[in-house]
Each structure stands twice: as structure tokens, then as C-alpha cells.
Amino acid sequence: MNNKAVATPTRTKEILETYGFSFKKSLGQNFLIDVNILKNIIEHAGIDHSVGAIEIGPGIGALTEQLAIHADRVAAFEIDQRLLPILEDTLSAYDNVHIINQDILEADVTSVIKNTFHEGQEIHVVANLPYYITTPILMKLLMDQLPIDSITVMIQKEVADRMAAEPNTKSYGSLSIAVQYYTEAHVSMNVPKTVFMPQPNVDSSVLHLKMRDQPPVEVVDENFFFEIARATFGQRRKTLMNNLARHFKGKMDKEEIRHRLQRVEIDPGRRGESLTMEEFARLANVFYSESI
């Protein structure tokens, strides 16, 4: 095709028309049509010629093209088979891109990393993620404990805010705890819906997650730690006492719950959103023995 960047409205339309491509709502396909935004994402992600990049959902190759230009090599997971011939065309000028026709949620990402990148190479995940499946994808990447350095993703603004939220804010919840247990999270930039085709109904943000060498708190059991966090936010307006009593119904009475909260010096009248990560860890550790 021509030399114009993929991420322009005219080139995107031209590609879609050439291939008679129609968007699948079920896959949450929204293609980026602004090269400057893509270059900003590349910069926020810390991509340069020494690093490897993993992309999820390359679409017609708008972000992939920029990654191919700036990174050493790129592995991109695309679930929609209809896009494979398009990607072969739009990325034909680059020999450092490996397209994998697989659902990222089912993929063995560790072996893809082993087979695609140099040993010990710095690796960054960069993606424009479909809104409907953002959280499962990110949680898989975090919990699989992959040898990656960071994740930079364009996601729904509201979800990005929740993942990077601090205690005592409206957005803070069990998702904030889960993400920040594994990473240092911050919102790098907000993005208007006008830079997508088709336009989504919501605004987006670029979220940057820097992987931690180790979690900021020590917990006896990670799954239980996340479970307790979810339980305390079960009904946001209710106190810790009420949410925990509901969670441990039939296993532990209110008196025992009160006693344990006293042991870790946490007021039963507080709400989940007021607890720091460190307090959640103390809470989970003191209740863990009872859950086995």
C-alpha cells in the first residue's frame, strides 16, 4: 500500500474499504486514528530500539506500526482472523513484527517471550485494549508473573482511574488494591473519544503500570488477601464490620470479627475505602487462619 501512517482517518478508511472490513461489536474494536497520540503512548511506555514490545489487539496495525519503528521487535496477539491479511499488508515494510493469531487470555505468553525476544531483554506490554475485557487481560498479565518491565495501555478512563486510585477517593476499590499490589500505577494522559474509529461512548486514558520487584506488603496468602479486599468493598456504604460479618457468615460471629479488628488496631466502624494497602494486608493476615 502507500507510505502514509496507518493511524490517519483517510488511510484507515482506505484500508477498511479495500478489505471490506466491518467492525465486530463483540470484540470491542475501536481503531486509533491519531499518530501523535500513538507517539505519546510509545514515549510513556519507554520504548526504544533496545527493548521488546508485546501488543494485544493490533487491529489494522496503527500502534503496531509505531512499535515496529521504535522497538527492537514486536509480538502482537490478534484474536480476529479477518485482520491477519490486513496486518500482513500494513506491516509488510517491517520484518521485526510477529503476529500471533490467539486469544491473549488463553495464550502461553511466557513461551512467546522466550521464542521472540533476546534473553534478558527489557520487555514492555503496550496496547489499546477493548473496554469489555480490560480487567481480565490485565489481571492475567499481572498474575502470570511474566518477565515484563511495564504495561502501558489505553483503556476506559473510569477503569484507569480505579486502577490508579488512592485511598479515600471515590474510585478506590478492590481493583486498585489488586493492581497496585503488583505495580506502581499512574494515569499518563487522557484521550478524547474523537481519536478513534468508530468513536466509543466513553473517554479513554493511558494507564502506565510499572512492575514491582516485590509487592509492597507481606501477605500470608495472596488469593485470600484479594478476597478480603473484595469483601470489604462488597457494599461500599457499609462499615468494615458489616461487610466482614456478611463475608464470614456462618464461620465467624461479630464478636470474633471485632476482636480480630482490635488486634490489628483497625476500627470496625471504618469503610473499606479508608484502608491503605498495608492495613488490608494486616486485616487479611489476621483473618487468614480462620478461612482454612
Verify that 39 and 136 share a domain, yes or no: yes
Q: Is residue 83 part of a domain?
A: yes
Q: Which of 189, 211, 233 is the last residue of a domain?
A: 211
Same domain flag for 139 and 254: no
pLDDT tens string 19-40: 998 877 666 678 899 999 999 9
Higher pLDDT, 235 or 138: 138
pLDDT, tens digit, 9 for 90 and up, residues 197-254: 888 888 999 999 999 999 999 999 999 999 999 999 988 889 999 999 999 998 889 9
Binding site residue list: 30, 32, 57, 78, 103, 128
Report the distance separating Cα 160 and Cα 164, nearest Å. 6
CATH number for the domain that contains residue 49: 3.40.50.150
Same domain for 65 and 177? yes
- Does 207 share its domain with 243? no
- What per-residue confidence (pLDDT) applies to 242? 96
User: How remote is the C-alpha of 167 from its chain's centroid?
Assistant: 20
Grid coordinates in use for 289? 487462619
pLDDT mean over 37-60: 97
Same domain, 44 and 177: yes
Cell of 38: 500513538
What pLDDT, in 10s, does the model give residues 70-81?
A: 999 999 999 999
228 in the same domain as 195: no
Strands 150-156 and 73-77: unpaired
Same domain, 139 and 48: yes
Domain that holds residue 145: 9-211
Residues in binding site for S-adenosyl-L-methionine: 30, 32, 57, 78, 103, 128
Burial, 203: exposed, middle or buried (Cβ in 10 Å; 0-12, 13-18, 19+)?
middle
Both 191 and 237 in one domain: the answer is: no
